[in-house]
């Protein structure tokens, strides 16, 4: 009886040790942090037209994007800063596109309800303009 009890305790002990390891192994791994922010430039171009960003911006090769209320986005991939203030990196640009007023409450660029995912694609297109 005593032996069986010990055997059970030993097995339970081993299971208790292995369970966290097994749970760890099942966690999805992100291969590269970049994968979080990368987007599809071709989809981004279509989305820029769909959201009518061009009513305020000139955006090369995007249909009807000849607006003058905002700065031209020509060669945006070569720009050092977004709106003259934030380093022109993908993560900053995604945030700017989806919620510019969360970065600068006084900006005249409106929050347009662009999802993070759509903003990632738009950012990929804007960064391809060189
Ligand atoms: C109502 C006009 C308006 C619309 C619509 C608009 N923007 Fe803007 N955008 C602006 C203005 C004005 C600025 C300059 C903001 C500042 O400097 O505070 C700006 C700045 C930017 C910048 C930074 C430009 C630079 O020179 O650093 C990017 C990128 C940008 N907008 C992308 C977009 C995208 C993408 C969309 C569509 C989802 C969009 N904008 C829609 C007015 C607009």
- Residue-level pLDDT, tens digit, the chain, 130 residues: 555 556 665 666 666 666 555 555 555 554 444 444 689 999 999 999 999 999 999 999 999 999 999 999 999 999 999 999 999 999 999 999 999 999 999 999 999 999 999 999 999 999 999 9
Give the per-residue pLDDT at 32. 40
Residue with CA nearest ligand 1 atom 41: 53
Measured from the Cβ of residue 62, the count of other Cβ atoms closer than 10 Å reads 22
According to the CATH classification, is domain 34-128 in 2.60.40.420? Answer: yes
Rounded CA-CA distance 128/110 in Å is 23
Residue with CA nearest ligand 1 atom 38: 53
CB 63 within 8 A of CB 46: no
Sign, CA torsion 15/21/23/25: negative
Domain ranges in the chain are: 34-128
Question: Atom of ligand 1 at shortest distance to CA of 82?
Answer: 27
Tell me which DSSP letter residue 70 carries.
S
Tokens 């820029």, residue?
A: 48
Q: How many Å lie between the centroid of ligand 1 and the Cα of residue 83?
A: 8
Residue with CA nearest ligand 1 atom 39: 53
Instruction: Give the chain's length.
Output: 130
Q: Please name the helix (run of DSSP H) or strand (run of DSSP E) that holds residue 8, with its range, or none.
A: helix 2-26
């Amino acid at each position: 009886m005593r032996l069986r009890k010990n055997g059970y305790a030993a097995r339970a002990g081993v299971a208790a040790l292995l369970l966290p390891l097994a749970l760890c192994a099942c966690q999805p791994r992100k291969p590269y942090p970049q994968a979080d922010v990368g987007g599809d430039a071709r989809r981004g171009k279509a989305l820029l037209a769909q959201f009518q960003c061009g009513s305020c911006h000139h955006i090369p090769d995007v249909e009807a994007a000849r607006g003058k209320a905002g700065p031209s986005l020509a060669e945006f991939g070569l720009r050092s800063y977004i709106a003259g203030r934030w380093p022109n990196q993908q993560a900053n640009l995604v945030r700017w596109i989806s919620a510019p007023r969360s970065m600068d409450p006084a900006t005249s660029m409106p929050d347009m309800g662009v999802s993070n995912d759509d903003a990632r694609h738009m950012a990929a297109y804007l960064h391809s303009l060189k």
